[in-house]
Amino acid sequence: MPRITVNGVALQYTDRGGEGPPLLLVHGWGGDGAEWEPHLRAWAGRRRVLVPDLRGHGRSAVPHEGYGPRDFAADLAALLGALGTGPVVAVGHSMGGQVVTALAVEHPELVRALVVADPAYGADEAELAGLPAEQRALRAEGAPWAVRFVGGAFRPGAHAALRARHETLMGAMDPGVLLRCRDGMYLAPDAFGPRPACRAYLAGRRCPVLAVYSRPAPAAWERGTVAPAGSRVEVWPECGHYLHEEEPDRLVALVDSWTAGLESPADPAR
């Protein structure tokens, strides 16, 4: 895998060639780019696909600072600029959904369309109320707390191998990185994870958005936000939080059909 230094941080990434508008696939909190391997195989030869390990994750460097969504987005903007990709279809899961959203808002010239899979934004009052205690537990226990947390993102008895992989990844993470990522998403002064700030931030999106959720309630909230023409929200209630890995072929087909439809009159379904 190639490696590049952007903003003073060495990032590992995959760059697979193909035709059509390039895709940028961004993992979530405590994950890595390898989770997109089934999608890479499905798009092989058809699309150019870029898959980075975010700073502090996977095989990328682990700096002490810079773990807010805008920081990650700045790294990705520099990566896309260095590779000369032009505008991409930016796809992000969970925290990666915040990252690609920040990329689209802060660097609109680099994103032609946005896909978010169970994005880690739009936290309601109940979720926000529990965050300080969760951060204290993460600070006290370290990675073992994160391992239990990620285990709860899967439906009981389902996808045991997938669950085990993510528990292993979490167990190997720097707990300080995990803490700073969550601070950047929800507790920092400029965080847009909480609903009031998020609604205002999402209004800055200028490209079409495809949002795929595992639960109806956050999907309904997303439908109530301001989104450009061509945007769409789907719910996959049979999936857990890692829906992009549970149903990789389904996501690939959906992204293909939705992006193809952007060339025709906007889909009114939202």
Instruction: Give Cβ neighbours of residue 132 (< 8 Å, ≥ 6 apart).
Output: 187
The arithmetic mean of pLDDT across residues 165-169, rounded, is 96
pLDDT, tens only, 139-160: 999 999 999 999 999 887 778 9
What pLDDT does residue 156 have? Answer: 77
Give the mean pLDDT of the chain: 95
The continuous run of DSSP H or E covering 12 comes out as strand 9-16
Residue 12 falls within a domain, yes or no?
A: yes
What pLDDT does residue 264 have? Answer: 56
What percent of the chain lies above the pLDDT cut of 70? 97
Residue 69 falls within a domain, yes or no?
A: yes
Token pair belonging to 242: 């890692």
What crossing angle do the helices spanning 195-202 and 95-106 adopt, rounded to 10°?
40
Phi, psi of 56 (to 5 degrees): 80, 0
Cβ(257)–Cβ(234) below 8 Å: no
Q: Name the DSSP class of 262.
A: T
Residue 268: pLDDT band by 50, 70, 90 thresholds?
A: very low
Phi, psi of 241 (to 5 degrees): -65, -35
The arithmetic mean of pLDDT across residues 100-114, rounded, is 98
Query: Would you say residue 57 has pLDDT above 70?
Result: yes
Token pair belonging to 45: 């030869």
Residue 143 falls within a domain, yes or no?
A: no
The residues facing 11 across adjacent strands are 4
Q: Does residue 97 or residue 264 have the better pLDDT?
A: 97
Residue 179 falls within a domain, yes or no?
A: no
pTM greater than 0.75:
yes
The residues facing 52 across adjacent strands are 13
Sign of CA pseudo-dihedral 65, 68, 73, 76: positive
Residue 270: pLDDT band by 50, 70, 90 thresholds?
A: very low
The arithmetic mean of pLDDT across residues 149-173, rounded, is 91
Structural domain tally of the chain? Answer: 1
Residue 188 falls within a domain, yes or no?
A: yes
Residue 115 falls within a domain, yes or no?
A: yes
Structural domain boundaries, residue 92:
3-124+184-261
Q: Which residue, among 243, 225, 222, 231, has the nearest Cα to 267 in the 3D structure?
A: 231
Domain of residue 248, CATH code: 3.40.50.1820
pLDDT, tens only, 191-222: 999 999 999 999 999 999 999 999 999 999 99
Residue 18 falls within a domain, yes or no?
A: yes
What pLDDT does residue 157 have? Answer: 76
What pLDDT does residue 97 have? Answer: 99
Cβ(131)–Cβ(186) below 8 Å: yes
What pLDDT does residue 265 have? Answer: 47
Residue 178 falls within a domain, yes or no?
A: no
- Cα radius of gyration rounded to whole Å, the chain: 17
Instruction: Give Cβ neighbours of residue 199 (< 8 Å, ≥ 6 apart).
Output: 225, 226
Task: Determine how β-strand 209-213 pairs with β-strand 111-117.
Answer: parallel
Task: Write the secondary structure of 210-231 as one string of H (helix), E (strand) and C (coil).
Answer: EEEECCHHHHHHHHCCCCCCCC
Residue 260: pLDDT band by 50, 70, 90 thresholds?
A: very high
